[in-house]
């Protein structure tokens, strides 16, 4: 599986809400585009994927269940995908 993203783009708080990334191989559906930004590339216009969902999908492709990577600290559950990540089935082959 190959994962790529934008390099050198400053994501300053309050300035950008959209980010482009690509996935290839390893169970990823080929030849598709998922989501869309506005004409300026600042805000998500269609099919947003939260970063926790993106991480959950990558972990799923690596054969890991993100929900099992949970640990409790000070009475709260913690994991890479926080407590809200869901696998994006539209990206899977």
Mean pLDDT of 50-74: 89
State the residue for tokens 């089935």.
89
**Model confidence over 27-40: pLDDT tens digits?**
999 888 898 888 88
Coil, strand or helix: which one is 76?
strand
Q: Please, which residues have CB within 8 angstroms of residue 74's CB and are 6 or more apart in sequence?
A: none
89 pLDDT higher than 90: yes
Coil, strand or helix: which one is 24?
strand
In this prediction, residue 6 carries a pLDDT of 54
In this prediction, residue 8 carries a pLDDT of 44
How many CA atoms, within 13 angstroms, populate the side-chain half-sphere of residue 65? 3
């Amino acid at each position: 599986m190959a994962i790529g993203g934008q390099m050198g783009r400053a994501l300053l708080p309050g300035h950008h809400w959209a980010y482009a990334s690509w996935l290839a191989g390893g169970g990823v559906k080929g030849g598709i585009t998922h989501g869309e930004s506005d004409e300026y590339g600042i805000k998500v216009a269609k099919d947003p994927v939260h970063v926790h969902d993106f991480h959950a999908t990558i972990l799923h492709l690596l054969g890991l269940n993100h929900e099992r990577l949970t640990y409790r600290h000070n009475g709260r559950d913690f994991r890479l995908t926080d407590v809200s990540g869901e696998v994006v089935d539209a990206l899977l082959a």
